[in-house]
Chain A
Amino acid sequence: MGEFIDALAIAVKAGIGFQAVFLALLALGINMQFGYAGLLNFGQIAFALVGAYGIAVSVSQWGLNFWAGVAIGLAAAVALALLLGLPTLRLRADYLAIATIATAEGLRLLFRSVSATPVTNGSRGISGFNSGFVELAPWDTGRRYDILGVRWSGADLWVAAVGWTLVALGCLLVWALVRSPWGRVVKSIREDEDAVRALGKNVYVYKMQALVLGGVFGALGGMIYAVGTGSATPDQYQNANTFLAYAALILGGAARVLGPVVGAMLLYFIIQFADSGLRSLIETGVIPEGLLTTTDVAQIRFVLIGLGLILLLVFRPQGIFGDRREVMLDAR
């Protein structure tokens, strides 16, 4: 029973820690693109990657100010979105999907390659760029704090606090946008592109705006993650995270303002709970070693996510909060 409580506490911490913020921001971006505009961005992690490295490279390698790094990261995300959108947004949905998934993989390979090592430090990554941010915390970041029965380091708490503030502001922005005329156009593009075009709207530009906005959210997520872990390595930004974010979004409910946020918290909670639960079950011998070992647990989470994604889409595509009529899953 004690182990159960421990696993629960760890899971709660994961559900409100900066990793959940990371996932929530990724999912928020995907919600803008996929939920509202119907764009299939399967490379959201690439935006997180450029955001994180925007800070890491400019602070650690070029010696710039932290906020200059944030600006560079955001600019890089906008540039990436434009680059991806230009050739593909006029085409059928799956072309964007293939191009983005390819870009996410390609960028990661590029950042960890030997030839990029002078800038990105290869697969070892960059660290030591977050002190300018952690110093801003109004409390002592060196201490540890007890909240909800779990111990937090001051720095983690600060990153999570700023992160959730960002998520709240992001939700507010999305909420305001989708109620505006702009949001109505974007949603109608999701429903029927040709009809919108017939009304004289420039569909291409609206799609591009949604893609850029979602990409910026992704970059912010990457920044929070990089600042939280204090390092940026290419392999942190594997594309499995994009699908994790999709799972979070669909779990919470696509095309709902709070869907991605609730989904991300819940998903992280479930993953962490399953993780530590399985570990303690293996350690106490309830699950025999022959069947599973503790090293397999990290893989089990992806198996579970995959299974969860399939089951959700088959049986409840609108997730927890979603409206079935609004979910862009029956499209072409």
Chain B
Amino acid sequence: MTHPTDRVRRHGRRSRSASAGLPTPGSARRRRGQTALRLLLVALFTAGLAALTPGVAQAEGEQVSGTLRTSASGPIEGVEVVVATPDGDEVGTDETDGSGRFAVPVPGPGQYTVTVPEDALPDGVEFASGNTRTVTVDPGRNQGVIIGLDDGSRESGSGTVRWVQLLVDGLRFGLLIAMAAVGLSLIFGTTGLTNFAHGELVTIGAIAAWFINVEGGVPLIPAALLAMVIGAVVGFANERLLWRPLRRRGTGLVAALVISIGLSLLLRYAYQIFFGGRSEAYADYRGQRAVDYGPFNLTDKDLYSIIIALVVLVLVALMLQRTKIGKAMRAVADNRDLAASSGIDVNRVILVVWMMGGALAALGGVLLGLSDEVQWDMGFRLLLLMFAGVTLGGLGTAYGALVGSLVVGVFVQMSTLVIPNDIKYVGGLLLLIVILMVRPQGILGSRVRVG
């Protein structure tokens, strides 16, 4: 008998221990992705779940129980499930109820076979591996039975192609990284600071939106806008209260870097005290079903995440290219002294960069929280991938961060074609090291930046 929590963990769900740090991030999203991908839905009912459902005969004595459902068909009602001894003597039957559930009391501990009639399933739903299961019931236990069902939309089925699906997932993830990384890269470009506390700007966005949305009851979209404002304010405070005074004191870059690590620790664990070690979803847009787009599936919220991220990033690019402040940002990032001597107010530009970076990171956090749930260390886990993206694109260049982040996102998702899911981030970090070896200045970086 597998203990329920063990089962959950083996399926890749993150462990909840408060300080355990980085369990497979993104596994929740990936889990959903995989569901969308395979729709090999398992009619699963563990004993643990059964224990949570009071109605289902908590009576003393042993029983077997389970649920028949898939994501496409929903719960399957009215199927006659037969339980028999290994010798073939029928013990009892039960018809699945409105939520696909069945429960058959058995006379005592021992082995039983559970059979679902082959022709009882609705059209399009098939057994993943046979219609019979043999289970061992321990004394006094309600034994869960898992009968794997396949609703026909696997890769061989209705045309979802695994690599296309991963590519789309990767693009979505890459866009999120890019949104957070633009600020990181611009801050590096304008001030030379490698900001290890940038991930905390992502987290503050997600957490602020969560409090406004779940505790405050405000719909998620205005909550996200408010979170962006909060992100900008935090960015402003960062610059005005910490980094500008430090620059004025002439603090060295290495010292600034270590200070940013201290700030990251401080904020991260403060979030944990404030928010707790759990992971929470927003109140809106829960439990959406994936929509079939031919070679890939996507939930609506993921689709809108992609659109929002694309629009925002295009706006950022336009701003950098067309507006006065955008040009000033690029000028300062390119050569600070030259920009200052041509009349650009460098401190003001840096302040705007911080506010913009904070707002973008906060929005990235909200979108990440939408697909992955909100957690106190979500930004820190994203930080390394942001660094990978920024380094890949070329430290300090805004467009480089965009391109690099997209590549990293796609690479991380696509790497699961060959490596197991729970070490896909390792692949991303390995990519980072390989890039450093081959082309340290990044795709769009210029050689002179490298010391």
Residue of A nearest to B423 (CB): A113
- Return the contact of B273 from the options A108, A300, A308 (Cβ within 8 A): A300
Q: Tell which of B78-86, B205-213, B256-264, B343-351 binds the partner.
A: B256-264
Q: Tell which of A86-94, A166-174, A176-184, A216-224 binds the partner.
A: A86-94
* B-chain residues with CB within 8 Å of residue A192 when the two chains form the complex: none
Known: A88-B436, A314-B251, A328-B254. Is A106-B266 also a contact (CB below 8 A)?
no
A16 within 8 A of B: no
Cα distance A28–B161 in the bound complex, in angstroms:
52
B52 within 8 A of A: no
Cα distance A102–B384 in the bound complex, in angstroms:
6
A136 within 8 A of B: no
Q: Tell which of A140-148, A204-212, A235-243, A258-266 binds the partner.
A: A235-243
Contact status A42-B261, CB under 8 Å: yes
Residue of A nearest to B25 (CB): A109
- Return the contact of A298 from the options B19, B429, B449 (Cβ within 8 A): B19
Enumerate B420-443 residues with CB–CB distance to A below 8 Å. 420, 422-423, 425-426, 429-430, 432-434, 436-437, 440
Enumerate B241-296 residues with CB–CB distance to A below 8 Å. 246, 249-255, 257-259, 261-270, 272-273
* A-chain residues with CB within 8 Å of residue B450 when the two chains form the complex: 91-92
Among B196, B257, B258, B419, chain A packs the most CB atoms within 10 A around the CB of: B258
Among B252, B272, B434, B436, chain A packs the most CB atoms within 10 A around the CB of: B436
Contact status A329-B22, CB under 8 Å: no
Contact status B433-A92, CB under 8 Å: no
B321 within 8 A of A: no
Interface residue tally for chain B (C-beta within 8 Å): 57
Known: A87-B437, A331-B252. Is A306-B263 also a contact (CB below 8 A)?
yes
* B-chain residues with CB within 8 Å of residue A131 when the two chains form the complex: none
A-side interface size class:
35 or more
Residue of B nearest to A102 (CB): B429
- Return the contact of B420 from the options A93, A98, A113 (Cβ within 8 A): A113
With both chains docked as a complex, state the minimum distance between the C-beta of B146 and any C-beta of chain A, in angstroms: 19
Contact with A along B1-41 (1 / 0, CB 8 A): 00000000010000101111111100000000000000000
A268 within 8 A of B: no
* A-chain residues with CB within 8 Å of residue B269 when the two chains form the complex: 299-300, 302-303, 306
A3 within 8 A of B: no
B370 within 8 A of A: no
Contact status B262-A109, CB under 8 Å: no
Contact status A309-B261, CB under 8 Å: yes
- Return the contact of A309 from the options B250, B262, B434 (Cβ within 8 A): B262
* A-chain residues with CB within 8 Å of residue B24 when the two chains form the complex: 109, 113
* B-chain residues with CB within 8 Å of residue A198 when the two chains form the complex: none
Contact status B22-A108, CB under 8 Å: yes
Contact with B along A94-133 (1 / 0, CB 8 A): 1101110111011011101111100000010000000000
B45 within 8 A of A: no
- Return the contact of A103 from the options B21, B249, B433 (Cβ within 8 A): B433
* A-chain residues with CB within 8 Å of residue B17 when the two chains form the complex: 235
* B-chain residues with CB within 8 Å of residue A95 when the two chains form the complex: 391, 436, 440
- Return the contact of B254 from the options A238, A295, A299, A330 (Cβ within 8 A): A330
Cα distance A292–B384 in the bound complex, in angstroms:
31
Cα distance A39–B259 in the bound complex, in angstroms:
16
A1 within 8 A of B: no
Contact with B along A305-332 (1 / 0, CB 8 A): 1111110011001000000000011111
A40 within 8 A of B: yes
B387 within 8 A of A: yes
- Return the contact of A329 from the options B18, B255, B273 (Cβ within 8 A): B255
With both chains docked as a complex, state the minimum distance between the C-beta of A101 and any C-beta of chain B, in angstroms: 7
Contact status B252-A330, CB under 8 Å: yes
Known: A86-B437, A88-B436, A102-B432. Is A94-B258 also a contact (CB below 8 A)?
no
B451 within 8 A of A: yes
B388 within 8 A of A: yes
A246 within 8 A of B: yes
* B-chain residues with CB within 8 Å of residue A292 when the two chains form the complex: 273
Contact status A329-B254, CB under 8 Å: yes
Known: A95-B440, A109-B426. Is A243-B21 also a contact (CB below 8 A)?
no
Q: Which 4 A-B pairs have the closest CB atoms?
A: A306-B266, A309-B262, A330-B252, A306-B265
| B residues whose Cβ falls under 8 Å from a Cβ of A | 10, 15, 17-24, 194, 196, 246, 249-255, 257-259, 261-270, 272-273, 384, 387-388, 391, 395, 419-420, 422-423, 425-426, 429-430, 432-434, 436-437, 440, 449-451
Known: A98-B391, A109-B423. 14 other contacts (CB 8 A): A97-B194, A101-B387, A103-B429, A113-B422, A243-B262, A295-B18, A299-B270, A299-B273, A302-B266, A303-B266, A306-B262, A309-B265, A313-B251, A331-B252
Q: What are some 9 contacts across the A-B interface (CB < 8 A)? A: A95-B436, A98-B391, A102-B429, A102-B432, A105-B429, A238-B22, A299-B269, A308-B262, A313-B251
